[in-house]
Amino acid sequence: MKNIVLFASGSGSNVENIIHHFHDKPNVTIAGVLTNKRDAKVLDRCNKLKINGLYFNRTAFYETDCVVNILKSLQPNLIVLAGFLWKIPSGLIEHFPNQIVNIHPALLPKYGGKGMYGNHVHQAVKDNHEIETGITIHYVNENYDDGAIIHQSKTVLSPKDGVLEIAQKVHALEYEHFPKVIEQLLSEM
């Protein structure tokens, strides 16, 4: 049995997509979903899908071992950041080396780093007249969007594409590839 713990900060559409992907896979369990926002819509999705969801605050994450201890109790094989916006503390990375993966809505190393998430990324892609964008799934290290790349998928952009269209193309790639890459990583463990 392989356990996944998901982290999210927002609506949780990627979380829900991942949960649905693994629903009929008896060898994989979604052990829980953790969020840093008390009112995150991902918690509503967890309730609807009957998945344990847990909110934690900044103190629990950065100043204590509270989140590490919760994770230890859940025994994750993989910790998946699916729209999680806080930088992962080094203590968490040390406890779970090469077990934390993130998805980024651009082709890293372009458009990564602090503050580069969601529409901020898509706007930068648009402003720089990129002809393609995509997703990058990577391991998490001590720096924002700097860990070893696991997978990238691209989509072509039109000069007419606005931020909304770019976001839609990127979300389609996320929904298609993220669960498959997670499943592949679990099969290699």
Q: Can you tell me which residue has the tokens 């859940």?
A: 74
Q: For residue 100, what pLDDT is reported?
A: 98
> For residue range 11-66, what is the model confidence (pLDDT) as tens digits?
999 999 999 999 999 999 999 999 999 999 999 999 999 999 999 999 999 999 99
Residue 21 a catalytic site member: no
**Helix-then-strand count for the chain, H and E:** 7, 7
| Candidates 104, 129, 138, 177; catalytic one | 104
> For residue range 122-163, what is the model confidence (pLDDT) as tens digits?
999 999 999 999 999 999 999 999 999 999 999 999 999 999
Whether CATH 3.40.50.170 fits 2-107+135-153+177-187: yes
When computed from its CA atoms, the radius of gyration of the chain, rounded to whole angstroms, is 16
Q: Is 189 helix (H, G, I), strand (E, B) or coil?
A: coil
